[in-house]
Amino acid sequence: MQLLLVRHGQPDTRQEGRFVNPPLTERGHWQAARAADRLAREEIAAIVSSPLRRAYDTARPLAERLGLEVEVVDHLAEVDGGGEGTRYISLEALRREGGPRWQNFLDDPVGFLGGDTETFCANVLGAFGRILQRGEAGKVAVFTHGLPINVILAHILGIERLTRFVPHYCSLTRLIGADMQRLTILSVNDTGHFGPDEI
């Protein structure tokens, strides 16, 4: 089975720091449409998504093009999807800010966002494992977030640090394998569906 991991499009950060599940910006919807144009040429057997709005709304254009339902998988969500008391933080804004807060995120991204690293990683890997166990013929498009993508890549590569990769909005990461022990990375952070000035 091939897993096509798509990070969500650009979220609306105008309410950043509040207890929100932000929608996509206009640009985020445009990015989602471009990703759908690219993925519609693939043999997609199923579409799964994080329950968070920015991921689900990124999946919808592809689902509409292909006439498929979007299956929501809870543990594909970002750390900020944990419910009451959690908050959305734009990692792009945090990176631009730099300084101690950015370093704290790099050192312990899950803890920085209010989660438990061991539990979060186990949940993410469990979700990917269950998708692989279904044994879909063809490709499964997985619409998710930056940290879940980093968790699965770190698992495959056998590295501990979860901040080795910076997936761009609506980038494509390809994995192939029959189960979690045999997953191989085909590509990471592919943005070929955008022009050089559109990323």
Q: What confidence tens digit (pLDDT) does each residue in 84-138 have?
A: 445 677 888 888 999 999 999 999 999 988 889 999 999 999 999 999 999 888 8
Q: What confidence tens digit (pLDDT) does each residue in 39-57 have?
A: 999 999 999 999 999 999 9
* Whether the Cβ atoms of residue 45 and residue 69 lie closer than 8 Å to each other: no
Mean pLDDT, range 49-68, rounded to an integer: 97
- Give CA–CA dist 40/130, Å, rounded: 24
- Give CA–CA dist 11/19, Å, rounded: 14
For residue 4, give the nearest of 190, 163, 156 by alpha carbon.
Answer: 190
| CATH superfamily ID and name for 2-190 | Phosphoglycerate mutase-like (3.40.50.1240)
* Whether the Cβ atoms of residue 175 and residue 3 lie closer than 8 Å to each other: yes
What backbone torsions phi and psi does residue 14 show, to the nearest 5 degrees?
-65, -25
Report the mean per-residue pLDDT for the chain.
91
Report, as residue numbers or ranges, the catalytic residues. Answer: 8, 78
Under the banding of pLDDT at 50, 70 and 90, the label for residue 142 is: very high
Mean pLDDT, range 171-191, rounded to an integer: 96
Domain boundaries, the chain: 2-190
Quote the pLDDT of residue 85: 45
Is the pLDDT at 19 greater than 90, yes or no?
no
CA-to-CA separations, 47 to 5, 13, 40, 64, 111, in angstroms, rounded: 10, 26, 11, 11, 29
Q: Which amino acid is at 97?
A: E
